[in-house]
Structure 1
Amino acid sequence: MTNPNGYAPNGSAAPQVPGPQTPSPQSPSRRDRSRHGDKPISGCAIAGCVTGGIGLLTSWIPIFNNVSAIIAVIGVVLAIIGLVATRRKGRKRGRGVAIAAVVISVIAIIIVLVTQNAYVKAIDDAGKQVEASQSASKKAVADRTYTFKATSNGPASAVYTNGGGSHTEDFNGSWQITAKGTEAGEFPGLSVLTSDYSNPDPSGIKVSCEILVNGKSVSKHNGTGSGASAICDVPYDWQETK
């Protein structure tokens, strides 16, 4: 027998009886981890999802979506690698992420193609409208009728554009000529000049010029006094649009 202090009656130490042993935990093997789903997630699947998302977010931006298409294609490639790595007997998980990456990337590519087609069509339509407007403007110019008028109370000269050149005609009293379309030149104009310094008219020398386009007066000026002159031209807005 032993006393409460653990010694035998003769004073020697009592033998120690080992107690129940608790087994130490052991780390699971790779096979155990795989069986319990403890696989690392596929980095390619995540990268493909992120890349596809960037491509999708920027696929609506004109011009930049050319880069978005390239980003989305990279996302598809990464997602496919992720799908291979996460197959049933694969060493990684995250198959759902890889599938989502494929879907997002493909949608981004489709949006880029659709928007690019829409942008190209819009540009073509705008170009056709500009061409139609220019054609209509050229036709309007070709169909115009320019009427040049001049008056003077004495001998004077009318200088006008016609047939792509400048012409001069002397007159006394009133003068008029008509030009059709481009015959009047690119910048139709009329100048009335006098060198009559001894005009007997008590009110002095008076000259005037006027240009009518399709019967509507677009420029009219008068000049008085010694060496009087009057200059008329077609306003720029009439040359281009009316």
Structure 2
Amino acid sequence: LAPSDYHLFGPLKRELAVKRFDDDEELVDHVRKWLQNLDGSFFREGIYSMLWQQQRSPSSEKSGRAPLASRRNTNSSGSLVSSILTYGCETWTLLADTERRIQAFENKCLRKLLRISYKDHVTNESVRELVVAYVGLQEPLLATVKRRKLAWFGHVTIHDSLSKTILQGRVEGKRRRGRQRKAWCDNIKEWTGMAMDKLVRSATDRDAWRQKTDSSALRSPRRPHRSRD
């Protein structure tokens, strides 16, 4: 059994207290049927209750490491960790591996704040649901990076500057052979689903571009599968 299965003992004890069995096989069959009839909410609520009791235990208070129980802790994490991580993220060119690293780092930070180990067999989705239950809905770190990149694109587009010339300019000559490296603007086109000429026209309207930024930052387009044949 994993530590995340310990919440089963109480309900199972109450279930078996009023039953009588002739042999061990009948007991095993009854327990298996009981587990199969349980829905997902039973396990989710049991794990959350177990984690909450663990965080309120005297050992956690003596250690001085308070769990994530208030919005103040989350704000402190955002100001001390996320702000350093996302410094200059407007200039990043996000690859698939970069996005996975950002998500993995955020999940690791949330688990540290909640004091949930990977050995507890708690999924990342359950960890995020627990964060929402404690402090409310939070913007994912990857969505923050996307939103800041999109906002910077709109800022550069509506002003005549050297940054706009570099960003939207073209270099003379031929492109090298083989697959081309992903450019900075490729992220913007991928997240919005728009061509460059439409992006430039859309960015001139600030209100519409803000709405486009918010919707595109939270959207995760499905990447096409590339065969190795």
TM-score when scaled to structure 1?
0.22
Higher relative contact order at CA 8 Å, sep ≥6: structure 1 or structure 2? 2
- Radius of gyration: which is bigger? 1
